[in-house]
Structure 1
Amino acid sequence: MAGHSKFKNIMHRKGAQDKKRSAMFSKLSREITVAAKSGMPDPDMNPRLRLAVNAAKAQSMPKDNIQRAIDKASGNDVENYEEIRYEGFGPGGVALIVEALSDNRNRTATNVRTAFSKNGGNLGASGAVSHGFDRMGLIEYPTSVGDHDKVFEAALEAGAEDVTFDEGHEIWTALDSLHEVAKALEAVLGPAEGAKLAWRPQTKVDVAEDDAASLLKLIDTLEDDDDVQTVWGNYEVSDEVMEKLG
């Protein structure tokens, strides 16, 4: 299990999935609103908004919810969300980058710092770990879209830089090519499950069983926070360790 915000295989409680789905819709709505406010409220004229809307559609977010989030950007009562990045270390020396959209910097900073300190990690200064990551575009497709060769050929033709597989196809692009590659792939493979700016680790850390449980708890705690949008890390947890924890 590689290190970024994807934990479909560790839903420990039966009711957790619905709760996480509701939280996911809330975060998708926030990103749509911020994207719409940062440019034109038309997805065809606003690349960031188009990616946000496509990501919401891929998660079966109702059309009314999507339109409401877009409309909210032009309202007088819209919250002023600030994009904030936190960097720190988790159990086993794992490097983590936490991206948030917040209307209260102090609240978010306190929550993130508390999550790190209570789960065997420590929050670092800006730039503490990001030097070990590359800022790239990431497009995700499920396994049902086709085999790896098919996706690899389509990605290469669309101008992607790399394709990896971890519970699905992960297509990596240059930072400024994300929108164009995503649009080209959509014409061939259909809408992506996700398309966003990402932090790709230059090297990965194998996490021992003793540290894995604490690390996953830390990431879950961070992702459960309403202000946190994504958590990226340079960790690798083996299938054997995941089975023991499951």
Structure 2
Amino acid sequence: MALQWNGLLSRKLSSSSSISSLPSWISTHIHGSATVTRTIWTVSPLSMGRRSSKIAGRKGAQDAKKAKLYARIGKEVVSAVKKGGPSPVSNTALATVLEKAKELDVPKEILERNIKRASEKGQEAYIEKVYEVYGFGGASMVIEVLTDKINRSVAAVREVVKDCGGKMADPGSVLFKFRRARVVNVKVSDADKDQLLSIALDAGAEDVIEPPVYEYDTEEDMSESYYKIVSSAENYSTILSKLRDEGVIFETDNGSELLPISTIEVDDEALDLNKELMSKLLELDDVDAVYTDQK
């Protein structure tokens, strides 16, 4: 796959740098001289003839992502209340979750509903689990689960993976291929590229990644795609604040995202099979996110 590099950084901290060719949704690695403090670059790959790889119904996908976020925060609220009570004053774990929910713009009624839910008879605390899967064409997947019934969640995940023709992987055999980061998603139509890069640089972002460009993209397709601002946890709130100050509409992650360190290019058949497997996994209530190293 040919990669088309664009020099999109509005300001450079050094005139010399070298960048490794990585796919668009992978954090680019900077190899500057000793005098370089930080440089942010973006990459926009041109994918020829891969229109079928685009996720249909982007708005539906974003709505589903938001629903998963709200569900995950709700589960975290329940777990925190079960462990330390409903008062954030005395329950530091709950206070932390509520602060996180505020940062991620989770509606207040969702928080209140789950605080009440935690006191219901029979409601158990939620436990985090990670399942690893081998997909098709050499691609791997990581499934994040937050569940109050471990046996239920693992059985559901195994059933979907088996039905779709994938294979469960041993713990640790896939996870090492990913790194965790905070990510802010900004729709292309909601931001000026140069303005976004300037905001990200000032706020200490690690990378700003352009969406992939497909051969048959229309203007509407492009306007519905997203920039990814990659950040450390320490700078995340600062980036959100600066975006709000500038009136830029954005979508947060669910607390973090897993970004693949390198990616696997697969053929169209494997791509469609992996897409179906991920879609089926995300339909499970216990599953909060599915990540892949597929290009």
Indicate whether 1:160 and 2:202 are aligned.
no
CA–CA separation in structure 2 for the residues paired with 1:183 and 1:38: 27
Q: Deviations over 1:7-45 (max 9, x none)?
A: 994249xxx959x95795365134234147548759xx9
Aligned-residue Cα RMSD (Å) equals 3.5
Using the TM superposition, give the Cα deviation of residue 181 of structure 1 relative to its aligned residue in structure 2, in angstroms.
Answer: 3.4
Change (3 A) 1:181 1:72: farther
Change (3 A) 1:207 1:49: farther
Could you say which residue in structure 2 is the equivalent of 1:10?
56
Structure 2, unaligned stretches of length 5 or more? 1-22, 27-52, 82-86, 212-224
User: Helix, strand or coil for the counterpart of 1:169?
Assistant: strand
Deviates more, 1:188-197 or 1:124-133: 188-197
CA–CA separation in structure 2 for the residues paired with 1:51 and 1:191: 19
Change (3 A) 1:138 1:68: same
2:264 to 192, 205, 215: 205
Using the TM superposition, give the Cα deviation of residue 144 of structure 1 relative to its aligned residue in structure 2, in angstroms.
Answer: 3.2
The equivalences for 1:1-246 within 5 A come to 9-11=55-57, 17=60, 25=67, 28-35=70-77, 37-38=79-80, 41=88, 46=95, 48-53=97-102, 55=104, 57=106, 63-73=108-118, 75-77=119-121, 78-166=123-211, 167-190=225-248, 192-195=250-253, 196-236=255-295
Structure 1, unaligned stretches of length 5 or more? 237-246
Q: Taking every aligned residue pair, what percent have the same amino acid on both sides?
A: 24
Give TM-score scaled by structure 1 length.
0.75
Change (3 A) 1:172 1:47: farther
Could you say which residue in structure 1 is the equivalent of 2:19?
none
Amino acid at match of 2:153: T
Using the TM superposition, give the Cα deviation of residue 98 of structure 1 relative to its aligned residue in structure 2, in angstroms.
Answer: 0.6
User: Helix, strand or coil for the counterpart of 2:171?
Assistant: coil
CA–CA separation in structure 2 for the residues paired with 1:132 and 1:139: 21
Q: Which has the larger radius of gyration?
A: 2
CA–CA separation in structure 1 for the residues paired with 2:116 and 2:190: 32
Change (3 A) 1:169 1:48: farther
Change (3 A) 1:189 1:128: farther
Amino acid at match of 2:252: G
Q: Deviations over 1:185-230 (max 9, x none)?
A: 3333456312331111111112211111211110001000000001
**How many residue pairs were aligned?**
224
CA–CA separation in structure 2 for the residues paired with 1:138 and 1:106: 31
Could you say which residue in structure 2 is the equivalent of 1:243?
none
Amino acid at match of 1:93: G
Change (3 A) 1:178 1:123: farther
Change (3 A) 1:66 1:76: closer
CA–CA separation in structure 1 for the residues paired with 2:116 and 2:249: 23
Q: Deviations over 1:137-165 (max 9, x none)?
A: 11112223312221111111111100112
Change (3 A) 1:207 1:231: same
Using the TM superposition, give the Cα deviation of residue 68 of structure 1 relative to its aligned residue in structure 2, in angstroms.
Answer: 2.0
Q: Is this contact kept in 2: 1:23–1:226, CA < 8 A?
A: no
Could you say which residue in structure 2 is the equivalent of 1:240?
none
CA–CA separation in structure 2 for the residues paired with 1:207 and 1:187: 41
CA–CA separation in structure 2 for the residues paired with 1:135 and 1:226: 23
Give TM-score scaled by structure 2 length.
0.64
